[in-house]
């Protein structure tokens, strides 16, 4: 009888340990996916974003994106140049909490734009503070 109680206790202990071990692995996998997913999106988006874009609304206006800077141009003159970063939110401290966000934002000089469209030819942004949409075509 004592031996059966010991075996049942040991079996219960092993099951509990295995259950906790599996939960820890699942948590590590989930954390890894949340952290890696936006980084992959950022890299792909940055690659697509880099280049010179002409405004669809004003033929003299445009932007140039490098890996680190956003340059506003007008009539072929650079009127401003600021660093930018991609984020999953307009608020920096929400980055870790929003790891699976579907929208990326460009943050530069305390301004924030939502990326609506980004492909080889077109870029469409929404300026978050005013809600207006800016459309660009890639210049070759």
By the 8 A CB rule, do 45 and 123 touch? no
SS3 (DSSP) at 139: coil
**According to the model, what pLDDT value does residue 121 have?**
96
CA distance 62 to 72: 6
Other CB atoms within 10 Å distance of the CB of residue 89: 17
Categorize the per-residue pLDDT at 104 as very low, low, confident or very high, splitting at 50, 70 and 90. Answer: confident
Residue 2: CA count within 13 A, CB half-sphere? 0
pTM of the model as a whole: 0.63
**What pLDDT digit, counting tens, does each position of 32-91 carry?**
333 344 445 666 788 889 999 999 999 999 999 999 899 999 999 999 999 988 887 777
**Does residue 93 or residue 79 have the better pLDDT?**
79
Q: Helix, strand, coil % (nearest 5) of the chain? A: 35, 35, 30
All domains in the chain, ordered by first residue? 37-138 (2.40.128)
List of residues 6+ apart from 45 with CB closer than 8 A: 86, 104, 115, 118
pLDDT digits (tens, 9 = 90+) for 106-115: 888 778 888 8
Average pLDDT, the chain: 74
Is the pLDDT confidence value at 97 over 50? no
**Which tops the pLDDT comparison, 104 or 60?**
60
Q: What angle do CA 74, 108, 121 make, to 5 degrees?
A: 60
């Amino acid at each position: 009888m004592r031996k059966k109680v010991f075996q049942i206790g040991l079996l219960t202990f092993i099951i509990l340990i295995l259950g906790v071990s599996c939960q820890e692995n699942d948590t590590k996998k989930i954390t890894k996916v949340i952290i890696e997913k936006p980084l992959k999106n950022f890299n792909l988006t940055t690659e697509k974003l880099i280049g010179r874009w002409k405004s669809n609304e004003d033929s003299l206006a445009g932007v140039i994106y490098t890996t680190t800077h956003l340059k506003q141009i007008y009539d072929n003159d650079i009127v401003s140049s600021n660093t930018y970063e991609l984020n999953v939110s307009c608020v920096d401290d929400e980055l870790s909490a929003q790891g699976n966000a579907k929208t990326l934002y460009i943050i530069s000089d305390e301004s924030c734009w939502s990326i609506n469209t980004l492909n080889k030819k077109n870029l469409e942004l929404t300026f978050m503070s005013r809600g207006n949409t800016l459309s660009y075509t890639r210049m070759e």
